[in-house]
Amino acid sequence: MSNQQFKVIFGLDANAQNISNAAWDGNIISVAKGGTGTATGSITGTGALNFTAGGANSSIVLTPTGTGTVNVGGFKVTNMATPVSGTDATTKDYVDNLVQGLIVKNAVKVATTTNITLSGTQTIDGYSVQVNDRVLVKNQTAPAENGIYSAQSSTWTRTTDADTWDELISAYVFVQLGSTQADTGWVCTIDSGGTLGVTAVTWAQFSGAGTFTAGQGLLLASNAFSIDLVGTSGKIVVTTADTQTLVNKTLQAAIVDTSISATAGAGSIINTSVISNSFTSSSAGQILDTTATATYRSISYIIQVVNSGLDYYQQSQVNVIWKSGTAYMTEYANLLTDSSLATYSVDISGGNVRLLVTPTGASGGNPSTFKVLKSTFTL
């Protein structure tokens, strides 16, 4: 077949029974429904029907007449290329990307992972680049050099679909090969107004698994990160084996301290501490805590009482304030599981305000244990 086009035209030759006895009409094969003289025709096969044009750059053209259409009977047309012209049929991926604001470029063979020399054939991400291969360059030390290139034996050139600034805005490209970048998609994140070769060009990964590394304190399994838990307690443990620097501060050995200090100032908390004491007698007015009246003005207590022998528990809050040698107290939020284990009072003695307790129920066989969270406020 010497002609550059292979055309199937329906309804032109009533004498043709099928493709095997259709008559040549110049550069056209006319096919009609056998012997009926009707203006419709068909080609029916027992398996797949293949139409292959001969020669270089030949086309297969379907040409309906009038208002006729090319009807594929509800089946899919598959394996289409990325469209170029305005009248080209398109793919679902292309449309999906446009909906997301992306301009799809033809796929590249490979993408860089570090700065390269933009000349000659070379190995990039484990792939041996050949002349005319499309390469996504995205890691240049001079970011203005980034873009989509056609590899050459000498100096590389930008591809014709990405050789202007505007052609790179929202450009999306798929990477076919490479040890770490294969099957990933990348989008150009530049905005309008730049100059290609002068303004920095940046790319961000848009799809694909990518390559990740678990940092300190993390575990990576496939594409899922998790916290590296140390020990049976399920906590992240920091030890002195490795010094960790945080904003000019160095973590030392773990310390459990019972006090928290804050900058002293009028009305501010200066010290919070934990007090523990145990009583084996229910005598009234036993000293639970003392505080210097010359330094502090008020105290807030949270008190827990446990009598294990009786299996009784109690929690109370007590606020204390003093003036001119007189102490004042209020007790509230008193929670009991059973009978009361303690009552409280305050006085001032020897320059100290004292928290006094009557541990009801306490005895040598059933001691009452007090744990107190104490917050003192300055004068």
How do residues 26-69 score in pLDDT, each as one tens digit? 444 444 433 333 445 566 666 777 777 777 888 888 888 888 88
Query: Model-level pTM?
Result: 0.39
What's the confidence (pLDDT) of residue 93? 73
Q: What single-letter amino acid sits at 114?
A: T
For Cα atoms 330, 331, 337, give the angle at the middle one, nearest 5 degrees.
Answer: 175
Q: Could you give the CA distance from residue 230 to residue 43 in angstroms, rounded to a whole number?
A: 72
Q: Which of 198, 136, 144, 221 is nearest to 171 (CA)?
A: 136
Percent above pLDDT 70 for the chain: 73
In order of their start, the domains of the chain are 1-71 (no CATH), 103-207 (no CATH), 260-378 (2.60.40.1680)
What's the confidence (pLDDT) of residue 36? 37
| First and final C-alpha spacing in the chain | 108
What's the confidence (pLDDT) of residue 100? 64
Q: Could you give the CA distance from residue 2 to residue 172 in angstroms, rounded to a whole number?
A: 40
Strand 171-175 relative to strand 103-104: parallel, antiparallel, unpaired? Answer: parallel
Residue pLDDT, tens place only, 200-238 = 999 998 877 656 677 777 777 766 777 776 544 444 555
Instruction: Name the more confident of 308 and 53.
Output: 308
* Mean predicted confidence (pLDDT) in 272-291: 92
The DSSP symbol for 76 reads: P
What's the confidence (pLDDT) of residue 9? 39
CB 167 within 8 A of CB 188: no
Q: Indicate the SS3 state at residue 121.
A: coil
Element (H, E) at 279: strand 269-279
Q: Within the chain, where are the H helices? A: 92-99, 165-168
CB 189 within 8 A of CB 204: yes
How many CB atoms are closer than 10 A to CB 291?
Answer: 19
> Tokens 């109370």 appear where?
316
The residues near 353 (Cβ < 8 Å, ≥ 6 apart) are 290, 291, 293, 299, 320, 322, 327, 346, 347
Residue pLDDT, tens place only, 113-166 = 999 999 999 999 999 999 999 999 999 999 999 999 999 999 999 999 999 999
Residue 102 pLDDT level (bands cut at 50, 70, 90): confident
Residue 278 pLDDT level (bands cut at 50, 70, 90): very high
> Tokens 């590899």 appear where?
151
What's the confidence (pLDDT) of residue 202? 96
CB 38 within 8 A of CB 14: yes
Residue pLDDT, tens place only, 64-95 = 888 888 888 888 888 888 777 778 888 777 77
Strand 296-307 relative to strand 312-323: parallel, antiparallel, unpaired? Answer: antiparallel
Q: Which of 359, 182, 193, 216 is nearest to 281 (CA)?
A: 359
Strand 110-111 relative to strand 134-137: parallel, antiparallel, unpaired? Answer: parallel
Q: Which of 210, 203, 211 is nearest to 105 (CA)?
A: 203
Residue pLDDT, tens place only, 345-378 = 999 999 999 999 999 888 878 899 999 999 998 8
